[in-house]
Amino acid sequence: MRNAPVEVKYLANAFGGVEPDGTFEGYASLFNEPDLGKDVVMPGAFAASLKRRGAGGIRMLWQHDPAEPIGVWLAVQEDAKGLKVRGRLNLAVARAREVLALMREGAVDGLSIGFRVDKARAEPRGGLRRLHAVDLWEISIVTFPLLPAARVSTVKGGPAAPDARLAAAIERAAASLRG
């Protein structure tokens, strides 16, 4: 299946912010969770690709556009939940500064993977396709992720943007009302 076309999958998770230097983290894929295209990434699906490429061999793009690299992935690894990523926007790039501003406002927080399928199995019922091995090429910051639970999620240090603090306060208040 080496000549299979590159596929793109969009994914999402609750936005937490981004450091002043453009560093952020989140999940670019979640295991055992069907996306809107009916694909389910299985644990271990990225292992061979990550071993072969490492974080430095995976591109960070804006909206899957190969003409729009906007930063670098500092860490890309599988954990029990999915494909956890930590990256840094290159603030010398105009588009990366725009993306940072959009992320701080909460206007953009989706993550999406671009890959080739190496091994998959279609399920006869439900129309799901289980991805057992994929060759990961890129992870993009996107507006509309295909997997609604894969998003930029946390910040390590650095002040959160004022809107992020307000959103967190509103979420805490809503949670207390729910019990």
Residues acting as catalytic residues: 64, 112, 138
Beta bridge partners of 7: 115
CA separation for the pair 131, 113 (Å, rounded)? 13
In angstroms, what CA-CA distances link 119 with 2, 12, 113, 137? 10, 24, 16, 16
Residue 97 near residue 41 (C-beta atoms within 8 A): no
Residue 136 near residue 77 (C-beta atoms within 8 A): no
Closest by CA position to 90, among listed 29, 156, 27, 23: 23
CA separation for the pair 70, 62 (Å, rounded)? 6
Rg (CA), the chain: 16
**Element (DSSP H or E) covering residue 136:** strand 129-142
- Give the pairing of strands 110-122 and 82-89: unpaired
